[in-house]
Structure 1
Amino acid sequence: MKTALSPMFAALALALAATLPAQAQEAKPGDAKAGAAKVAMCIGCHGIVGYQATFPEVYRVPKISGQSEKYLAAALEAYRKGDRKHPSMRGIAGSLTDQDIADVAAYYAHDGVPAGGAPELPAAPPAANAQAAALLQKGACVSCHGDNFSKGIDPSYPKLAGQHADYLYAALKAYRDDTHHTWGRGNPVMAGMAKQYSEAELKVIAKYIASLPGELKTVPQRKFR
């Protein structure tokens, strides 16, 4: 004999069934063309050459055109979750869906990249500064970021070569000190690495990596050209 469901139980079952398809949906691979229509909040900082942020200190915002797609998506997700603390970036990332993040990451990964793809960069030359060479060896930086600092062991690792030195310095400090409520980055591997160095030493590392040839750039957006 079949037992009829109570009206309340039936309603709950129907409501749960209605939510399952939406929860099961995952973001599709990023679409650079779709991403072009979603970067209005980004271009005010990342679309102006030399634009400077003023929080938590003054530094040029990072070059993100040509950056690894997987890294960009991971960074936006970290800002959305609060693992990276920055009021402006968290507000922007918090307004994005998973699909938005995938599309924006795809857009900037291809922005300004030649049709045939960027040429393979050679290994970075030995640091002319003996101190920089020793510091990089101490942190085993190439073991993750590659010997040219532009091709990490996984696409989730950022390209660093040619990035602004003042931004690299600010980022390294953010990894080292994650105790603030409004800035800092929660990453145990990078925190352990950065904590080995003084601020002066972090500046030496940042200056050397910034001097290397790389694929990163700031592409002025049409409204700012």
Structure 2
Amino acid sequence: MLSTIVRTLVAAATFSVALAAQAQGVTGDVQAGHKKAEMCIGCHGIPGYQNSFPEIHKVPKISGQTDKYIVAALNAYKKGDRKHPTMRGIAGSLSEQDMADLGAYYASQADKTAPETPRTANTAAAALIEKGACASCHGANFSKPIDPSYPKIGGQHADYLFVALKSYTVEGNAMIGRSNGIMAGIAKQYTPAEMREIAKYLSTVEGELKVVPQSRFR
């Protein structure tokens, strides 16, 4: 039943995203994005770099994500749908063209393809992932989302995935939380321990995401 509801909501959300993308009609430029990414590499270009807000966790791998996901995430921070003071400050300074350029740059760093079938999950993780119908949005290998504005999550840092998943359960907090009806409904099914189990497994899946090491200064 839940899987059917999720698929229905996903179809509606995908249609809305497609219309928004058509309305924007902005094309990203990789070289322009490379220059604009100077504001990003201090966190996302340092292997193992950790964020201390809202708790200590590694910053997400974004090299290899789709351009549309990068744009969608930045817009969510800009609008306040994703609450994170630093990211909102950065996203708030970006134009649609800036976001498109950054998306094109990080998407251009994809240099591998995830296996069609990930390694078998342990029984507990498999049951939890099935319960949330995670593959319905993120793909059977968690690197082929049904819509490019959704994230690839295979191989992402476990501690980041946990913090991100937990953030969808937060309500009424001006500083922490993410507003997404689909993800909120899914995340609220799980206990923190179950979220950690899911995150731990997904981090071990061979994916397409990576950190491209760069100096803090170019």
User: TM-score range, shorter-chain basis?
Assistant: 0.7 to 0.9
In structure 1, the residue matched to 2:129 is 136
In structure 2, the residue matched to 1:48 is 46
Question: Equivalences for 1:13-24 in 2 at 5 Å?
Answer: none
**1:95 has 2:93 as partner:** yes
In structure 2, the residue matched to 1:32 is 30
Q: For 2:148, what is the secondary structure of its paired residue?
A: coil
**1:194 has 2:187 as partner:** yes
In structure 1, the residue matched to 2:14 is none
Higher relative contact order (CA 8 A, sep 6+): 2
**1:211 has 2:204 as partner:** yes
In structure 1, the residue matched to 2:58 is 60
Residue of 78, 96, 115 corresponding to 1:80: 78
Q: For 1:103, what is the secondary structure of its paired residue?
A: helix
Identical counterparts, % of pairs: 60
In structure 2, the residue matched to 1:123 is 117
Residue of 164, 173, 180 corresponding to 2:173: 180
- CA-CA distance at 1:31 after TM superposition: 0.7
- CA-CA distance at 1:221 after TM superposition: 1.7
Output one character per residue of 1:158-215: Cα deviation in whole Å (capped at 9) or x when no partner: 1000000000000001111132111110001000000000000000000000000011
Question: Whole-Å Cα distance in 2 between the matches of residues 71 and 40 of structure 1?
Answer: 19
Q: Runs in 1 of length 4+ with deviation above 6 angstroms? A: none
Question: Whole-Å Cα distance in 2 between the matches of residues 95 and 222 of structure 1?
Answer: 23
Q: For 2:149, what is the secondary structure of its paired residue?
A: coil
- CA-CA distance at 1:45 after TM superposition: 0.3
CA contact (8 A) 1:162 1:211 kept: yes
Question: Whole-Å Cα distance in 2 between the matches of residues 209 and 223 of structure 1?
Answer: 29
Question: Whole-Å Cα distance in 1 between the matches of residues 131 and 216 of structure 2?
Answer: 44
Question: Whole-Å Cα distance in 2 between the matches of residues 188 and 26 of structure 1?
Answer: 23
- CA-CA distance at 1:223 after TM superposition: 4.7
CA contact (8 A) 1:51 1:60 kept: yes
CA contact (8 A) 1:60 1:166 kept: yes
Gaps of 5+ in 2: 1-22
Q: Which has the larger radius of gyration?
A: 1
In structure 2, the residue matched to 1:15 is none
**1:149 has 2:142 as partner:** yes
Question: Aligned letter for 1:79?
Answer: Y
Q: For 1:167, what is the secondary structure of its paired residue?
A: helix
Question: Whole-Å Cα distance in 2 between the matches of residues 186 and 71 of structure 1?
Answer: 16
Question: Aligned letter for 1:192?
Answer: G
Question: Whole-Å Cα distance in 2 between the matches of residues 189 and 26 of structure 1?
Answer: 24
> What TM-score results when the alignment is normalised by the length of structure 1?
0.83
Output one character per residue of 1:20-59: Cα deviation in whole Å (capped at 9) or x when no partner: xxxxx95631111110111111111000000000010000
CA contact (8 A) 1:32 1:107 kept: yes
Question: Whole-Å Cα distance in 2 between the matches of residues 192 and 123 of structure 1?
Answer: 26
> What TM-score results when the alignment is normalised by the length of structure 2?
0.86
